[in-house]
A and B are shown apart, each in its own frame.
Chain A
Amino acid sequence: MIEYQKKIQNIAERLLNEKKVDVVLGFKKGTIPMMNQPCLVRVPDETQKLVWDSNCGINLTNYLTNRKERIGIIAKGCDTRNIVTHIVENKIKREQLVIIGVPCTGMIDKAKINGLMVNEIAEVSEHNQEITITDSRGATKTIQKKEVLQSNCSICKYKNPVIYDELVADLVPESKDIDRYEDIRKIESMASSEKFKFFEDMLSTCIRCYACRNACPLCYCPTCFVDESKPQWLGKGMDPIDIRTFHFLRAYHCAGRCTDCGSCERACPMDITVRQFTKKLEKDCVELFGWEAGLTLDKRPPLDHYKTNDPQSFIK
């Protein structure tokens, strides 16, 4: 994907030169390995700092919310699905955007790479679909990118942008016959006590930093329910009930909207697999409403409107 970089810079430069956009939203190179930083580019000369590689896992749609200027946004498949959701939910206007679509071959998982070396990682480089890791003592290892993908990327069905105005490369083949819900079925089949234990363990190290929420483009409420103080819905301490309430409620607020972009998990400092919650609701939406989020501008998500033929077998 690193080959895309020049093309991205050129498109961004042209859009700014032609005054089609006021700013371009992309990534610049980070200061540590496997890290790029979201950035805004305002002048054509600065487009050279735009980078693209497999460390662009933060969802840039998160930075669009309620912006007023005309924006060029560099967006991979999942990001474009969140752009669609943003447009449908009136968080940005389609006319404001020039979407620079990136056909994506997946983002790499920092934790997986870290786990491959004994010493600290000094550098990670990529070539085609190969990743070369160098550690602080100079040892190197080359592996296939598919072995170290973020877990959401390894089960992604929409690598190509679903909506775009510019495309940085030919579309990539989409993966067929992916089983997206193996892990969720496993949890569903647990007895309730086992399930309880599973979630308890999973959340036991959560520090309530809210990086998962704040990295998510869906979580744009002016005041999140966890931050309400009049009345206050949730305790602020480390009571597991409050921590669970945050996670469960947030997941429900994302039902039918989450694109499984993985930004939340990527942001978590404690490596908590918060997508386990949103994926369950994603699965429910597929099964109950035949719905996948962010694929069309023409329909409203199933949970924000009512239809007489909505499934209602739960009403006994």
Chain B
Amino acid sequence: MMVVKIDKQKWSSGINQLKSTYDVYGPAKQGKTYEFQKLGSEQLPDLTVQNTTLSPKSIVFPQSEKMFSFHTDENKSGHHILKEMNNQSMPKAVLGIRPCDAKAFQLVKLNFDTCEYKDPYWIRAYESTTLIGLACNNPCSTCFCTSTGCGPFSETGLDVLLMDQGDSFIAKSLTPKGENLLKTATWSDSFDPATAESILKSGKEKAESKIASRVKTDQLASKSIMKIYEAPFWDDVAFSCINCGTCTFSCPTCWCFDIQDETKGCQGIRTRNWDTCMSPLFTLHGSGHNPRGEKTSRVRQRFMHKLKYFLDKYNQGIMCVGCGRCVRLCPVNIDIRQICNMMNSYQPS
């Protein structure tokens, strides 16, 4: 571990230095919202943003990604053979990612990087990305990260943790990747690690005390899947839902995708695109049968996956880091905090 102090005057010069080695991402205004974007040559991340509207998951897992190209012209060689696309880019550095969003990558990793299956696209992108987190001094009212095994100063999944100190940042590297990045940026003013720890500790306590929103998850593991599945509350929970993709697309931990071939003449590419369990098309079979044909079953799927199946399968807590995005963005106020508490306290009669 290495701790440095980054004077804000050295912040921009360091970032510019990083840009020759990394594609640097950070929060910036895009249209009417703030999102993680690849920063232009003189552009700095806007660290005044509490939380970006969408999560930064797309940096590693783009909404639409080309996987293979092919052609079907039998007069030419290599027809009907899938060729992997070269999606390689410079290593990426994500500046100002929030601890919840960084932890989310660890949860998503459980799906994309397993003993049995390795998703080369996700793994390549993830491994070449360095996450420089910004501790949340002022969490939003909808954040409930302390209930999800995360927190405003959580270090899980980060390569560097930054704490804003007014005219400087304290930067604590947590991995060799993080250390490399600090060196590349020539942020090297050393800072006493023990002092840093005590500053971080008090910052953490202060920030955590501001988190007003909590969920209970302690009973979820012991509940029977079938009993919660058959609980009487699902129709009510689902009533207002309009089955859009807002909650799942904005969520840092939702990973579902659909694979599509797009062709023009004899040329084609195979892409994968984010998909959502909220859409009826997500589960529509070729036969025309749809096992989740009703809205209630789709809404139930989202919550059962996040709060029960995932927890039972991996024993790593719930598939939610408490970033609060779905709570803030759902147009009809479906609030995962309420539903989580309902599931947790449900006593079948």
Please report A residues at the B interface, Cβ cutoff 8 Å.
Answer: 30-32, 35-40, 58, 62-63, 111, 120, 122, 136, 201, 204-205, 207-211, 213-215, 227, 229, 235-239, 266-272
Query: When A39-B240, A227-B279 are in contact, do A207 and B338 touch as well, CB less than 8 Å?
Result: no
**Do A31 and B31 touch across chains, with their CB atoms under 8 A apart?**
no
A208 contacts across to B, CB distance below 8 A = 245
**Do A215 and B242 touch across chains, with their CB atoms under 8 A apart?**
yes
Q: 3 closest pairs, A vs B, by CB?
A: A237-B64, A267-B331, A205-B31
**Do B33 and A205 touch across chains, with their CB atoms under 8 A apart?**
yes
Query: When A227-B280, A236-B260, A237-B64 are in contact, do A209 and B245 touch as well, CB less than 8 Å?
Result: yes
Closest Cβ–Cβ distance, residue B154 to chain A (whole Å): 21
For B, the interface residue count at a CB cutoff of 8 angstroms equals 44
**Do A62 and B333 touch across chains, with their CB atoms under 8 A apart?**
no
Closest Cβ–Cβ distance, residue A276 to chain B (whole Å): 14
**Do A238 and B242 touch across chains, with their CB atoms under 8 A apart?**
no
**Do B239 and A236 touch across chains, with their CB atoms under 8 A apart?**
no
**How far is it, in angstroms, between the C-alpha of A62 and the C-alpha of B239 when the chains are bound?**
12
Q: Of A32, A39, A211, A237, which contacts B244 at CB under 8 A? A: A211
Please report B residues at the A interface, Cβ cutoff 8 Å.
Answer: 30-33, 35, 50, 53-54, 63-64, 138, 140-142, 239-240, 242-246, 249-250, 258, 260, 262, 271, 273, 275-276, 279-281, 284, 327-329, 331-335, 337-338
A266 contacts across to B, CB distance below 8 A = 331
Q: Of B239, B258, B271, B335, which contacts A40 at CB under 8 A? A: B239
A-B pairs with beta carbons under 8 A, tally: 114
**Do A214 and B327 touch across chains, with their CB atoms under 8 A apart?**
no
**Do B31 and A236 touch across chains, with their CB atoms under 8 A apart?**
no
**Do B53 and A270 touch across chains, with their CB atoms under 8 A apart?**
yes
Please name 19 pairs of A and B residues whose Cβ atoms are closer than 8 Å in the assembled complex, sorted by A: A31-B333, A31-B338, A37-B240, A38-B240, A58-B331, A63-B240, A120-B141, A136-B138, A201-B31, A205-B33, A207-B54, A208-B245, A215-B244, A236-B64, A237-B63, A237-B260, A269-B33, A269-B54, A269-B329
**How far is it, in angstroms, between the C-alpha of A238 and the C-alpha of B260 when the chains are bound?**
12
**Do A32 and B142 touch across chains, with their CB atoms under 8 A apart?**
yes
**Do B242 and A270 touch across chains, with their CB atoms under 8 A apart?**
no
Of the candidates B243, B262, B275, the one having the most CB atoms from chain A within 10 angstroms of its own CB is B262
**Do B30 and A205 touch across chains, with their CB atoms under 8 A apart?**
yes
**How far is it, in angstroms, between the C-alpha of A74 and the C-alpha of B53 when the chains are bound?**
32
**Do B249 and A31 touch across chains, with their CB atoms under 8 A apart?**
no
A63 contacts across to B, CB distance below 8 A = 239-240
**Do B281 and A270 touch across chains, with their CB atoms under 8 A apart?**
no
**How far is it, in angstroms, between the C-alpha of A39 and the C-alpha of B237 when the chains are bound?**
10
Interface residues of chain B: helix, strand, loop or mixed (majority)? loop
Closest Cβ–Cβ distance, residue B243 to chain A (whole Å): 6
Of the candidates A32, A37, A229, the one having the most CB atoms from chain B within 10 angstroms of its own CB is A32
Told that A209-B244, A214-B243, A237-B262 touch, could you supply 10 new A-B pairs with CB distance under 8 A? A58-B331, A111-B32, A122-B141, A210-B245, A215-B331, A229-B281, A267-B331, A270-B32, A270-B53, A271-B31
**Do A210 and B32 touch across chains, with their CB atoms under 8 A apart?**
no
Closest Cβ–Cβ distance, residue A150 to chain B (whole Å): 13
**Do B262 and A207 touch across chains, with their CB atoms under 8 A apart?**
no
**How far is it, in angstroms, between the C-alpha of A19 and the C-alpha of B284 when the chains are bound?**
39
Closest Cβ–Cβ distance, residue A238 to chain B (whole Å): 4
**Do A39 and B239 touch across chains, with their CB atoms under 8 A apart?**
yes
**Do B140 and A120 touch across chains, with their CB atoms under 8 A apart?**
yes
Q: Of B243, B271, B337, which contacts A31 at CB under 8 A? A: B337
B243 — nearest CB in chain A belongs to which residue?
A214
**How far is it, in angstroms, between the C-alpha of A71 and the C-alpha of B279 when the chains are bound?**
27
**How far is it, in angstroms, between the C-alpha of A58 and the C-alpha of B245 when the chains are bound?**
17
B210 — nearest CB in chain A belongs to which residue?
A136
Q: Of B243, B275, B328, B333, which contacts A37 at CB under 8 A? A: B333
**How far is it, in angstroms, between the C-alpha of A63 and the C-alpha of B243 when the chains are bound?**
12
**Do A207 and B141 touch across chains, with their CB atoms under 8 A apart?**
no
Closest Cβ–Cβ distance, residue B233 to chain A (whole Å): 13
Closest Cβ–Cβ distance, residue B37 to chain A (whole Å): 11
**Do B244 and A214 touch across chains, with their CB atoms under 8 A apart?**
yes
**Do A272 and B331 touch across chains, with their CB atoms under 8 A apart?**
no
A38 — nearest CB in chain B belongs to which residue?
B240
**How far is it, in angstroms, between the C-alpha of A235 and the C-alpha of B262 when the chains are bound?**
7
A272 contacts across to B, CB distance below 8 A = 31-32
Query: When A38-B332, A205-B31, A211-B244 are in contact, do A229 and B141 touch as well, CB less than 8 Å?
Result: no
B275 — nearest CB in chain A belongs to which residue?
A236
Closest Cβ–Cβ distance, residue A254 to chain B (whole Å): 16
Q: Of A31, A120, A136, which contacts B335 at CB under 8 A? A: A31
**How far is it, in angstroms, between the C-alpha of A229 and the C-alpha of B281 when the chains are bound?**
9
**Do A227 and B281 touch across chains, with their CB atoms under 8 A apart?**
yes
**How far is it, in angstroms, between the C-alpha of A63 and the C-alpha of B327 when the chains are bound?**
21
Closest Cβ–Cβ distance, residue B346 to chain A (whole Å): 19
B138 contacts across to A, CB distance below 8 A = 136
Q: Of A207, A214, A237, A268, which contacts B271 at CB under 8 A? A: A237
Query: When A38-B332, A120-B140, A272-B31 are in contact, do A267 and B244 touch as well, CB less than 8 Å?
Result: yes
